[in-house]
């Protein structure tokens, strides 16, 4: 669920509550508002699947917070996440040492993903994560975004 989905969900709940509890709002007005919100949600989902530009407007990218043994301070500040929250995510993933962790990613739904160190090579799952350092000479095929 992204931020837009959350907003629509809250708006739908508020609309339903208003229709049920307010005598000044008719059932037809409430149903119209409900239908408009559902239609808007469908239109945004449809457009975001078909237009990369529109998707960039309404969807977020995962953000790298910890990589290769160091915290990425700029990303922590931008996402308003503390080191303690990152450490809690590492503990929740069952790691006792940061040395066992290759990366910690703040996902678009607000959850943390903790990626363990691979046996060899690069961490392939970080390909579309914002601020992910690329190996020397490799060009990124992901969309570039400024934060």
Residue 130 is assigned to a structural domain of this protein: no
Residue 13: what pLDDT?
Answer: 92
CB-based contacts of 66: which residues, under 8 Å, 6+ apart? 72, 86, 90, 98, 101, 103, 104
Residue 2: what pLDDT?
Answer: 66
Quick check: 143 pLDDT over 60? no
Q: How many folded domains does the chain comprise? A: 2
Residue 121: what pLDDT?
Answer: 61
Residue with tokens 């400024």: 146
The whole model's pTM is what?
Answer: 0.63
Q: How confident is the model at residue 146 (pLDDT cuts 50, 70, 90)?
A: very low
Quick check: 144 pLDDT over 50? no
- Residues 47, 93 within the same domain: no
- Residues 48, 81 within the same domain: no
Residue with tokens 């808007």: 40
- Residues 107, 74 within the same domain: yes
- Residues 73, 115 within the same domain: yes
pLDDT, tens digit (0-9, with 9 covering 90-100), for 59-107: 778 999 999 899 999 999 999 999 999 999 999 999 999 999 999 999 9
Whether residue 49 contacts residue 41, with contact meaning beta carbons closer than 8 Å, is answered with no
Quick check: 142 pLDDT over 50? no
- Residues 50, 69 within the same domain: no
Pull the structure tokens for residue 4.
Answer: 């837009």
Q: Residue 70, class by beta-carbon neighbours within 10 Å (0-12 exposed, 13-18 middle, 19+ buried)? A: exposed
pLDDT, tens digit (0-9, with 9 covering 90-100), for 31-49: 899 999 999 889 988 998 9
Pull the structure tokens for residue 57.
Answer: 């407007």
- Residues 44, 69 within the same domain: no
Dihedral sign (CA 145, 138, 101, 71): negative
The whole-angstrom separation of Cα 143 and Cα 61 is: 10
Backbone dihedral angles phi then psi of residue 129, each to the nearest 5 degrees: -95, 135
Q: What is the largest CA-CA distance in the chain?
A: 66
Using DSSP, state whether 130 is helix, strand or coil.
strand
Q: Which domain holds residue 111?
A: 63-120
CATH number of the domain residue 70 falls in: 3.30.240.20
- Residues 52, 79 within the same domain: no
Pull the structure tokens for residue 61.
Answer: 């990218």
Residue 134: what pLDDT?
Answer: 58
């Amino acid at each position: 669920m992204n931020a837009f989905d959350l907003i629509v969900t809250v708006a739908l709940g508020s609309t339903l509550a208003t229709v049920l509890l307010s005598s000044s709002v008719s059932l037809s007005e409430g149903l119209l508002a409900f239908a408009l919100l559902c239609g808007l949600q469908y239109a945004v989902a449809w457009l975001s699947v078909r237009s990369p530009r529109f998707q960039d407007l309404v969807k977020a990218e995962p953000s790298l917070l910890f990589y290769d043994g160091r915290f990425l301070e700029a990303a922590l500040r931008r996402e308003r996440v503390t080191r303690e929250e990152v450490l809690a995510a590492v503990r929740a993933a069952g790691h006792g040492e940061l040395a066992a962790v290759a990366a910690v990613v703040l996902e678009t739904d607000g959850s943390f993903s903790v990626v363990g160190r691979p046996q060899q090579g690069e961490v392939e799952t970080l390909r579309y994560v914002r601020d992910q350092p690329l190996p020397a000479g490799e060009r990124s095929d992901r969309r570039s975004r400024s934060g």
